[in-house]
């Protein structure tokens, strides 16, 4: 039985990962930002921790909560969206909300989680976006794009540090979530099943890489 950690599991892709991993018999540890979301995930079969990745003081206790754990897969799914275009300067609150969740949170989480992942040669997946790619840059959602490009660098740096594990950035596709909208091209279930299948097929050449949910490897970041 594998142990899976899902950071940001209250809804969308994170919730879908919890459900899929529980159904296949994994032990799942899930984090949520609000205490009100705890019971639903417990009812789904997960162990639940309350962690707000945008608040370093909240994240700081993660290491001791995971003390002694051996984690086969860890997923950093927590994310925040902003659709403003480049003609609009981001407000300080919007900048902090997006960058703290998408970048600072990951930089706080990885040093605490990676020893547990590396102990078993596991996989750390950070959910990025195709919108992070410099070759696909456009004005729309420039704060979000910038945050995900920064997250990709976090992944590359983390892989250099923890070479005994896989650390990858994952493009989940355009998914029917609150962020992606009802008109998105794939369902949460399609996204999750694709990502799990892709992770199962990783080899050493994929360490530190940027891959799509269906296994396609982005060569240009």
CATH number at residue 158: 3.40.50.720
Tell me the two tokens of residue 71.
């984690």
Give a yes or no: residue 31 inside a domain: yes
Q: Alpha-carbon distance 93 to 18, whole Å?
A: 30
Question: What are 193's two structure tokens?
Answer: 């099943």
- On whether residue 220 sits in a domain, the answer given is no
Q: Is residue 114 in a domain?
A: yes
Q: What is the reported pLDDT for 167?
A: 99
Inside any domain, residue 197 = yes
Q: What is the per-residue pLDDT for 70? A: 98
Cβ neighbours of residue 68 under 8 Å, at least 6 residues apart? none
Provide the domain limits for residue 104. 3-212
Quick check: is 90 in a domain?
A: yes
The whole-number pLDDT of residue 66 equals 96
Low-confidence ranges of the chain (pLDDT < 50): none
β pairing state of 47-50 and 73-76:
unpaired
Residue pair 208/160 in contact by the 8 Å Cβ criterion: yes
In a domain, 166, yes or no: yes
Q: How many domains does the chain have?
A: 1
What pLDDT, on the 0 to 100 scale, is given for residue 218? 86
- Does 219 map to a domain? no
Identify the pLDDT of residue 27.
99
Can you give the pLDDT at residue 11?
A: 94
Give the contacts of 109 (CB within 8 A, at least 6 positions apart).
Answer: 7, 53, 59, 62, 76
Give me the pLDDT at residue 178, please.
73
In a domain, 43, yes or no: yes
Cα–Cα distance measured from residue 203 to residue 50, given in angstroms and rounded to the nearest whole number = 33
């Amino acid at each position: 039985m594998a142990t899976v950690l899902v950071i940001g599991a209250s809804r969308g892709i994170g919730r879908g990962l919890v459900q899929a991993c529980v159904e296949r018999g994994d032990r799942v540890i899930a984090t949520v930002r609000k205490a009100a979301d705890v019971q639903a995930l417990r009812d789904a079969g997960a162990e639940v921790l309350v962690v707000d990745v945008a608040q370093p003081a909240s994240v700081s206790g993660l290491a001791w909560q995971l003390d002694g754990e051996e984690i086969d897969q860890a997923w950093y799914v927590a994310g925040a969206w902003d659709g403003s275009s480049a003609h609009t300067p981001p407000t300080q609150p919007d900048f902090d909300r997006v960058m703290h969740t998408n970048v600072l949170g990951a930089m706080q989480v990885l040093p605490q989680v990676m020893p547990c992942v590396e102990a078993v040669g596991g996989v750390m997946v950070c959910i990025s976006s195709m919108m992070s790619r410099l070759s696909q840059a456009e004005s729309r959602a420039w704060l979000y794009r910038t945050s995900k490009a920064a997250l990709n660098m976090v992944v590359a740096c983390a892989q250099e540090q923890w070479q005994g594990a896989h650390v990858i950035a994952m493009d989940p596709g355009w998914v029917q979530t609150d962020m992606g909208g009802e008109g998105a091209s794939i369902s949460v279930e399609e996204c999750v099943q694709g990502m799990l299948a892709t992770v199962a097929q990783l080899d050493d050449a994929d360490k530190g890489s940027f891959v799509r949910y269906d296994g396609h490897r982005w060569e240009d970041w």
